[in-house]
Chain A
Amino acid sequence: MSAIETGSAAPITTQPGTRRKRRLRDRDGMLGSAMLLPAVAYLIFFVGYPLVLAIMYAFSNVTVGSSKFDFVGLQTFSTAIHDPNFPGVVAHTFIITGISQAIVIVLCTVLAFVLAADFHGKWFVRFLVLMPWTTPVALGAIIWLWMLDSIFTPFDWFAQHLGILGPGGHLNMLGHAGLATGSVIAVQAWRTLPLATVIVLAGLSSIPRDIEEQSEVDGAGFWRRLFGIQLPMLAPIILVALLFGIVFTFSDMAVVFILTGGGPGDATQVLASWAFYKGINGGNLSVGAADALFMFPVLLGLAAVVLTMASRRRGD
């Protein structure tokens, strides 16, 4: 009957117990850190450090002209908040972001389903759908600026023929506070829709085929499958798309800057564009930084949502 065989007594060339270390390139843990380091260092210097500085500025009285730098506690924040326009600026930021992204979230899901199907001319449609995203923001805003021109906009012609306006009437989309805000909302929704759609498309393609087939076999009709199976499974991805869209809209200044200049009056100023006016045009770096910093809690909150989503995902 055979038993478990033990090792022979072959001579060992090194002492048992001494562990000659492998070189760095063979030690995975250390190699990993070394390979990560340059990118992380770059980000710390070019993102982390300015962020810290921004926070410091907001607590100081720094201006563009002088080189003085004293800490003034919450005084700068107080100045920023007490500006008469400030509450409006904050409100506009939330309204524009909220409404535009609410529109996007519905449209991007529909569009993702459309693009997931097969039809003639799909490549061309996809090309057109991508264009609002791929065009640099500033250029897209310029196109809209012309398209909404107070005199020459084609929408006047549409409105006249639909009877909304009298002959020779003008909508003047960018001249009235409400319409201007609506225009900014439209542009933001227009330019963030493609990215949101692509993200949801990615999610759609990752729903396992056999789950879909199972639901068909189980007898579920189109709407039941949509709302009972597909949308719930897509929910995390849609949330990711929403997150990206909110971040990009909330912190954007280019659209407002180019389309309305913040106007009419200050009716469409948002935090990012307001910070620019105060900080660069106005020369008051500390107030500008404080204004910009008000975006931070919202972004931080979104980051926290992302983190909880990520850790919950790891759990399943």
Chain B
Amino acid sequence: MAGGRQIRTIRGRISIYLLAFFFAVICGFPFLWATLTAFKQDPDLYSTGHNPFAFTMSPTLDNITTLFTNTPYLQFILNSVIIGLVATAITLVLSIPAAYALARLTGRWGIPVAIGIFVVYLVPPTLLFLPMSRIITVLGLQDSIWSLIVVYPGFTIPLSVWLLVGFFRSVPPDIEEQAQVDGYTRIGAMVRVVLPLITPGLFTVVVFSFTLTMQDFIYALAFVSSSSNMTISVGVPTNLVRGDVFFWQSLMASAIIVAVPIALVYNIFLRKFIQGFTLGAVKG
């Protein structure tokens, strides 16, 4: 992705830069606005009539400090991270064997299974959340972070399997067969030779699976009520709003603090994601 097609004509180059600028603005403007807001003092922010992009008073870090000291925001982050890590771990443990089986061991009957798993991804949480909250209550997990840990693999597994199948396919089959001839079982060959070769792919799956868990809103909203157990997604909109009063600067800060690192990491892993996505799609 770094690199890419060289555009030779002047007209072409101007078009590219104009379009790039256009898209950068429509995608990034809300974040710019949020960042400006986060650093504004109250009187500056809550006044109209002047250029909203300028600071009439000096920018302040107070809103951000309040966020961390006066609100459960840090707890939200902690919860999200723990939930994301454990759910991702569960996902990997289940997805790696499944993806290997689909990539190497199943042949014709594997295709409907693979399609089935993909279709599962299309079943939305907004459809399942009602019966799911009943199941969670029956399991005794209501209002606990475990309710989310246990439910999230339901949608991270399909994505992970899709990507992992792609990464497994990128390893030449004769390397695995060589390892078998050299003395290992199929699984032994997978662990000793194939997994080390797709390490970047494994990182990619971890990244995308983890961040997918952070996207969820409805399960977290439905299952968790105490603020000490909330995730960022739910805690911020519900908890940082006291009655009808919105602490906008802290709210914006809380969003930016989460959005920027994730986007950075995605940008780094994008190429790998595309590779896994493409190879996982071949042959359906």
Chain A positions within 8 Å of B, measured between CB atoms, are 25-26, 28-29, 31-33, 35-36, 38-40, 42-43, 46-51, 53-54, 56-57, 107, 110-111, 114-119, 121-144, 146-147, 151-152, 154, 156-157, 168, 190, 193-194, 198-199, 201-203, 205-206, 222, 240, 247-248, 250-254, 257-258, 272, 275-276, 279-280, 285, 288-289, 292-293, 295-296, 299, 302-303, 306-307, 310-311, 313-314
Contact = CB atoms under 8 A, between A and B. Distances in A.
B245 interface: no
11 contacts: A43-B158, A47-B128, A47-B154, A114-B19, A117-B4, A130-B267, A138-B234, A146-B248, A151-B48, A293-B127, A314-B111
A271 B260 CA distance: 31
B69 interface: no
Interface of B: 1-7, 12-13, 16-17, 19-20, 23-24, 26-28, 30-31, 33-34, 37, 45-46, 48-49, 51-53, 93-95, 97-98, 100-102, 104-106, 110-111, 113, 115, 117-120, 122-132, 134-135, 150-151, 153-154, 157-158, 161, 185-187, 211, 214-218, 222, 232-234, 236-237, 246, 248, 251-252, 254-255, 258-260, 262-264, 266-267, 270, 273-274, 277-278, 281, 283-284
A201 B274 contact: yes
Contacts of B187: 25, 31
Contacts of A140: 30, 255, 259
B4 A36 contact: no
A302 B122 contact: yes
Contacts of A154: 33, 52-53
Contacts of B46: 152
Contacts of A48: 120
B185 A26 contact: yes
Contact of A126 (B153, B251, B270): B270
A43 B157 contact: yes
Contact of B2 (A122, A133, A206, A257): A122
Nearest to B180: A26
Contacts of B19: 110-111, 114
Contacts of A247: 122, 124
A128 B150 CA distance: 32
B105 A32 contact: yes
B273 to A, nearest CB: 7
B5 A116 contact: yes
Contacts of A135: 255, 258-259, 262-263
B128 A199 contact: no
